[in-house]
Amino acid sequence: MAKGLYQHVRATWTRPKDNLPFEYRRDRMAQWRRQPVNHRVDKPTRLDAARRMGYKAKQGIVIIRTRVRRGGLRKGKINMKRKPRNMGIRKITMAKNTQRIAEERVNRHFPNLEVLNSYWVGKDGKHKFFEVIMVDPHHPAIIADKDLGWISPANHKGRGSHKGRAYRGMTSAGKRGRGLHNKGKGAEKLRPSLKARGNLGK
């Protein structure tokens, strides 16, 4: 059975180091590093991932490529008496993953837009790069869209809001970070949220 376009694109991005030439990846990263941190792009780098995350080529939808520094938290050195292994400088990781941090930073930079979803597009020695799908909830094309109209406050009539989705962990990356992609055994105390179940800090 013949594969479609999106299946070929997805297979390419499953193992980008094997399927994309080194020179292409190197030159692309060099170009991205010279661009601003939050850079608007005309079309998605990964069309299959963008469509899977809800992207449509229409008015009211914007793609922003952003970068976030890789690695764990860097803590200052403790000058009081400690064993080196107890200083707590290395091997400290953030509670949120890098993709959620990227979504929140882009949302702060574009406060009139809402984050729909995001996807990974690359990394180098210092940064991870993500493309964030932003939606204008007040655009007439979005309000009238049957798939994206739910994000607009005009369609809710005061019955709740989707404002600040990235900050509340409502995107796909946010739900993954909250553990909501897990079901069944071992996930009994994840819903409705860790805070509601009193599991934070445990």
Tell me what the mean pLDDT of segment 172-190 comes to. Answer: 92
Q: Is the pLDDT of residue 160 over 70?
A: no
Q: Which domains does the chain carry?
A: 5-197 (3.40.1120.10)
Specify the range with the lowest mean pLDDT, choosing from 3-17, 118-132, 171-185.
3-17
Share of the chain above pLDDT 90, in %: 60
Residue 110: pLDDT band (50, 70, 90) is very high
CA-CA-CA-CA torsion sign (191, 104, 113, 158) = positive
Q: What is the largest CA-CA distance in the chain?
A: 67
Sign of the four-CA dihedral 89, 91, 95, 96: positive
Q: What is the pLDDT of residue 159?
A: 59
- Tokens 């409705």 label which residue? 192
Determine the pLDDT at residue 201.
Answer: 55
Tokens of 112: 């009139």
User: What are the tokens at 134?
Assistant: 């932003």
Q: How confident is the model at residue 46 (pLDDT cuts 50, 70, 90)?
A: very high
The arithmetic mean of pLDDT across residues 42-60, rounded, is 94
